[in-house]
Structures are given as structure tokens and as C-alpha cells.
Amino acid sequence: MSTIYDKLNDKQKQAVFTTEGSVLLLAGAGSGKTGVLMHRIAYLIEEKHVDPYNIMAITFTNKAAKEMKERIGKLIGEEGNFVWVMTFHSSCVRFLRRFIDKIGFDNSFTIYDSDDQKTLMKKIFKEHDINTKVYKERAVLNIISSCKNELMSPSEYMKSAVDSYEKGVARLYEIYQSTLKKNNALDFDDLICRSVELFEKCPEVLDYYQDRFRYIMVDEYQDTNTAQFRLIYLLAQKYGNICVVGDDDQSIYKFRGANIENILSFEDRFENVKVIKLEQNYRSTGNILDAANAVIKNNRGRKDKSLWTEGESGENIELRQFQTASEEADNIIKDIRDRARDNFRDFAVLYRTNAQSRLLEERCVTLGIPYQLVGGVNFYQRKEIKDVLAYLKTIANGNDDIALLRIINVPKRGIGATTIAKVSEYANENNISLYDAMSISEMAGVGKASDKIKSFITMIEEFREKVAQKANIANLIEELLDETGYIESLYDEGEIEGESRKENIDELINKSGEYEDGELSLFLEDVSLVADIDRMDENADRITLMTLHGAKGLEFDTVYLAGMEEGLFPSAMSSNSREDLEEERRLAYVGITRAKKNLILTSAKQRMVNGETRYSLMSRFVSEIPRELLNKHVLDTEKRYTERSGSFGGELPWETKTPVNNNFEKTLSFGKQFKVEKAQSLDYAVGDTVKHIKFGVGKVLEIVDGDRDFEVKVNFEKFGIKKMYAGFAKLVKI
């Protein structure tokens, strides 16, 4: 008798049937890990008779969670609806929305996005007269985020501070947190941290969720940070049935706080761990997998595994170098036009930095090629959308000063900056919210503006009453727009601009139609947690332009990896440490394994960066791919491409206009080119002002005499704190 498990390979079956205790599934790219998770859930329910209510599956994106829910439903029907399938952040919102009052917040808390955080920090800087030449809002917020990822409180960061700058950041961190609490607001990092705090301070709440989630599965485990690890660790302690799925070779989010040690040391943190490797790939051709394996094996900080396929070897990887970045972009888009034949959805161009998208977009527009840019301006970050959401947030949570400040005079209603400053001062003096201060505005000395403020407060209160009566959200938004005259104000910027913004608001109203009457808080939660990847339309017949970081989890028939140049990919800053360089290599591995049938690597000898022409060598990652897997292309005098197949031999793979060393190894060898002799001493010291060719002017905070080179920490006026090796940085004292 056939079953739903018959089509699984032996390793996949082992992963599905190993249900008890701690399990680590090392799932290589394209190895069918999502299918394994879904079959594992089905097996628990149908064969082990586990109540779906007791199963938790956690992932990182709404897109992945939605796919999981759909696939579970197809496997086991309606029972799948009772399995907890959510992202980390959505799960924590549910925990906190129910129990956050136990740790001193109101359950109607607001979630701040990155723009809200920056607005709040700017307000703190102004109120506390912070020196903006020393402290940068974004730099301070980045440090705070890093602290939260590591579950480090303001007081703990203060204890670890090594200089006056870090002590200043610690004080700002403390003020930031207290202001968030005053506003009854949480930022994204708080959703995890406060959930951990809730579980650690309230054993009865933890016990409730431990009993609820007796079988826990975590997807993309290599992307978890310390706080997320702690959250999962606490939930799994009672029953010990924890299964994590991940690939250390695809750990590429260190800049967001991801800690690769979570997956590398999983066997040390949990008892009697069973390790199962999923190495058979169902996505890419053999040559693409061989290239990926060859590149990633150069990393030392990884668990040994190798992708393989029963499928065909496929075409060789194409390798192209251009004189300029403009020629590179032109060739890529024309090549897609010639290959696609009106089937553009199968093509993607991936790149290291967002700045690379401009030339590609321009060529798409010029040539009339349909495209979607993933990672551009988020729909929910557009001004008109932020304005409408700020109104809704104010209605839902009167303590949210940031939302209120955004819309108090939008559209203009005669409540100017002077009035707002007086009310803010009154609110601070009396330790109340801005909304509460406005509700008693006659006490704030605002004079003639008092009537206008009262009118605004009355309007908000009327809408709150409608929410309490479970009003339809779409109708609520439309009434709000009509009451405030917001739509009319959009056309003050011009008819075309106004119409475009109105269309965006119409789309928001369409989105709100997905929610039941009275679910305003749920609507606000969901839109605050949407990522760029969730908005991508995989069915649209357009080529996809996106960064390599954004591409993880996706696949395309044909992939172009653009900008394969030293200093760009790997980035120049990654040369400072082995760990950073290995993360860049993992990013290359992710890019390579997005391709199913065709992979094209491109680079430019010269590229404009910050208004200057940069000359670059081919990326070292190209040299790590075996020559027999590559087809080289040579630029002829008419700038058309001709293909040369076969091995490179000793011949340089690209035509050039200037004499070069005609030895492949030497051209793509980096040992000598990146070797830096350590200086005996430096001509600058802690406290000196120095200049960097890229980051500009800054103050030296710390110098550490390392084995390889002096490690220098500098606070740059425009870029915040950077750590670098002196030999690479070439800092000049001024």
C-alpha cells in the first residue's frame, strides 16, 4: 500500500520518522527540507497521534510560513489548520499580546519599524542635547539592536563599556528603552527579548506554552540569533522534542545578529542529538552543484557535507568580464531579452549591493524589459501609507507619541511646531503621553490652538468608539480619509503624484479587506512584520533584480551573479577577518545554488563607486571554481561575445586592452596582493583625528596590537564606529 512517504529518499525518511528528542537536520540547498518538515508534521499527527495543537513550526518569513500552511493542508487536510505555523516575530506578538501585562506593558502595545525607531532616537537626541558629531542615530540604533540580539540590557552594556563613547551609547540605550515603555511600544528586537523576559519572569506562562508546544520545529536555524536561541531553548526544556533544520553554509545574516554558533554547537547545547544530513539536491544541475561545493569547501567554520544530484550535469557555468559596469548591465539585460522569449519570470539578476541595481533598472527601462525590484522602497515605508498607519496606530494606542507626532498636523490643521513643543514639554514634565497631554491641552498653555487640538482628540475618540464596536477596517480607513481630508491634500503635490499616492492607499484598503471586523490590532501587527521577500510576486512575468541576501530561499532557471569583483564581492571590509570573509563565501554559495539550469558570472574591470572610478580584479570566488566547469567569453573589437569552450590552460580568460600577466593562477591569485606587512608603529594614537579614503573624517577610539596587524576602532562623523586593520585602512592623521 502506497503512502505519502514513499517518494522520500532514505535520508528524508529518517528525518521524518525520527520524532523524539533533539534532532539536527543539516539540509543543503535544494534538498527538499520544507517537504521533509511538512511530512514530519503529517507523520506526527497521523502515525504518532499527536494533537496538531501541540505542534509548533517556526520560520523567518511570512512567505515561508504561508507555504508551510498550504502544504500541510494538502497533506492532512483541515487538521493542519491547528498546527502553530508562524514566524518568530509573529509568534512573539501572540505571546505578548496575551501576557505582556505581566511585565509592565499594556496589551495594546504598538510595534515600531525602523523609521519609527529613527524618529524616536532623533527626538531623544534633541531633548537631551546630544552631540550629533559624535553620536549618529543609525549607529546608536545598530548597537542597541546588537545588544538586544545578545539579550544585553542597558545596565549590562554600561558595565561592559570601555570608553566614554560606549558609556554614552549605554545611557541613550536606557533612555530609548524607557521611552519605548512610556509609549507602550516595542521595536522588532523587543518582540523576541520581551518574550524571553516574559518566560523567565513568569514560570506559569512558560509552563503554559511548554505544555502547548510539545513538538517544536525550527526552520532556517542557521539564521537565529542568541535571543531566538534562548526563546526556543526555554520552550523545549520540558519535553525535549526539538528539531532544527538549517544549513551552516547558508548562514549569511551576521549583520542582522544571526549567530552561526547556534547551529555549529547545537550538539553541545542539547542532549543526545541525532544528526541527519540531507545532501541530495533536487534543484540544480550537477555542474552548478560542483561549483558550489568547490567554493564552500574553502571555509573552515562549517560542518562537512556535499551536495549531489541524480540529475544531469547540465551546461557549464558562463564567465564574462567587461570593461565597465555599464557594459556589464547592458549585456545582462540584452542576454535575458534574447533568451527569455517572453518568459521573463525564470530569470534573476543577483548582486552584492543595492547600488548595483540602478544600471540594471535603466537598461530594463530602455529596452522595455519587464522587471521587479525586490529590496527597493518597501510599500509600507511610503509616506502616504505611513501616514494612514500612524492614524490607525494612534486610534489603537494613545500612548504612541511617535505615531501621534507624525499626523497631528497632517493634513495641516493649524497645530504648529510651537504648539507641539509646548504640549511635549507639558507631557514630559508630568510624565504622561503626548495624547493625554493634548486631552487636557488647556493646562499646557497652548492658547488659541486649544480648540484645534480638542477637535483632533474628539475625532480620534470617535474612531476609537467605532473600533470598540468592531468596525470594518476598510470602512474605518475610508471614513478617516474623508474626515481628515487627507486624499485632497495629496493632490497639493500635483495631480500625477497625488493619483499615484491614492492608488497606494487604495491598495492598503484592499489589504485591510482580508481582516475581520474589529481586527485593527491584528492588521497593524501583520503589516508591521511584512518583509520585502513577502511582497515578491513569483508568478509575474518579469525578471527579478535583487540582492544576494534577499535571494535565499528562492530559485530560478537562469541566474546572473553580477559584480563578481574583489572589493565588491567579497566586500572590501570582509578582508579584516576570516569570519567575515567566510560569510561572504557563504553568500556566494547561496547565489550559486539559486540557479537551476544556467549560471552566468559577470564582472567589470572598472566601476563608479561614490563618484570615483574603481578598478578591480575578478573575485577570488571565481578562482575557487574548477576550470573545467567554466566557459569563458571574450570581448571582441565590436563588443560582441564569442564563446571558447574547454579548459583555460595557461591562457588568460579575457581579452584586455592593456598588457597583463597571462597566467590564470597569478591573475586570480590573492595571496600576494592582499598581504599586508605589519608596521612597527602608527603615526596616530587614541584621541587623534584621522581620515579614511571611504569613510572620511573620524576620531580614533581604540588601538589593539594584534598578531596580524594593529586593530583600530574609529568613530567616523558620517558612518559611525568602524573596526579595521591599520594596514588596510591606511588612515591619515589630520
Catalytic residues: 33-34, 219-220, 250, 594
Using left for φ > 0, alpha for ψ between -120 and 50, and beta otherwise, residue 342 falls in: left
Q: What are phi and psi of 282, to 5 degrees?
A: -115, 15
CA 131 to chain CA mean position, Å? 30
Q: Nearest CA to 356 among 157, 591, 558?
A: 591
Q: Nearest CA to 621 among 612, 613, 630?
A: 630
Instruction: Summarize the annotated binding site for ATP as residue ranges.
Output: 27-34
What distances in angstroms separate CA 554 from CA 27, 392, 437, 592, one per listed residue?
Answer: 15, 34, 49, 11
DSSP character for 626?
Answer: -
Strand (E) or helix (H) holding 556: strand 556-561
Unique residue bearing C-alpha cell 544528526: 275
Q: Nearest CA to 300 among 541, 585, 623, 634?
A: 585
Using left for φ > 0, alpha for ψ between -120 and 50, and beta otherwise, residue 277 falls in: beta
Determine the residue type at 263.
I
Residues 318 and 693: their CA atoms lie apart, in Å, by: 34
Query: Do the strands 543-547 and 347-351 form a parallel or antiparallel pair, or are they unpaired?
Result: parallel
Using left for φ > 0, alpha for ψ between -120 and 50, and beta otherwise, residue 104 falls in: left
Residues 531 and 89: their CA atoms lie apart, in Å, by: 12
Residues 162 and 156: their CA atoms lie apart, in Å, by: 12
Strand (E) or helix (H) holding 186: strand 185-187
DSSP character for 332?
Answer: H
Q: Nearest CA to 55 among 45, 66, 69?
A: 45
Determine the residue type at 501.
R
Contacts of 403 (CB under 8 A, 6+ apart): 110, 116, 389, 390, 391, 393, 394, 397
Contacts of 328 (CB under 8 A, 6+ apart): 320, 322, 359, 562, 563, 602, 603, 604
Q: Nearest CA to 195 among 320, 84, 98, 333?
A: 98
Cell representation of residue 658 = 592593456
Residues 391 and 384: their CA atoms lie apart, in Å, by: 11
Q: What are phi and psi of 632, to 5 degrees?
A: -100, 155
Torsion sign across C-alpha atoms 207, 78, 9, 85 = negative
Residues 664 and 667: their CA atoms lie apart, in Å, by: 5
